[in-house]
Amino acid sequence: MNATASTAKPAATALSAKGTFEVKIGPPEPLVSPANGTPLFKRSLSKQYSGGLVGSAIGEMQLAGQPQLGEAAYTALESFVGELRGRKGSFALAHLGLMSGGKQDLRIHIVPGSGLGELAGISGELMLRIEAGVHFYELNYRLA
């Protein structure tokens, strides 16, 4: 029987962190749009996370459409710095949100390669829900 050492890295374990966050969204500012084109806007973001994810994030969203009619889209990037279950570092989140026909589709992913400090190599997805004005998150992630 021959024994050989494996050089393959073990697969990262799927982990989860839950909690709440407070968000402040700045007023809409117009972006350059073509003459007679659909107006585009940007808004600043500022967040405070608590729970399994503790820290702050700042970012910017871009919007188009008519959110007051339930027909719109937004993209955003935010940069988080703080702790995730005691590990200090930072990472970025990328958002894509679509609203149409009374339905919403929101996807928020950790930006590949954005993890720094003890969060280097992080990957995953953040889900959120809003109940009675409170923002709840669940971050499902892996650390390399």
Residue 90 banded pLDDT, cuts 50, 70, 90: very high
Residue 7's pLDDT is 55
Per CATH, domain 15-142 is 2.40.350.10: yes
Please tell me the distance from the alpha carbon of residue 73 to that of residue 99, in angstroms, as a whole number: 6
Most confident of 3-7, 11-15, 84-88: 84-88
Mean per-residue pLDDT of the chain: 92
Please tell me the distance from the alpha carbon of residue 22 to that of residue 136, in angstroms, as a whole number: 9
Please tell me the distance from the alpha carbon of residue 26 to that of residue 63, in angstroms, as a whole number: 13
Residue ranges covered by each domain of the chain: 15-142
Residue 10's pLDDT is 58
Residue 52 banded pLDDT, cuts 50, 70, 90: very high
Predicted confidence (pLDDT) at residue 78 exceeds the cutoff of 80 = yes
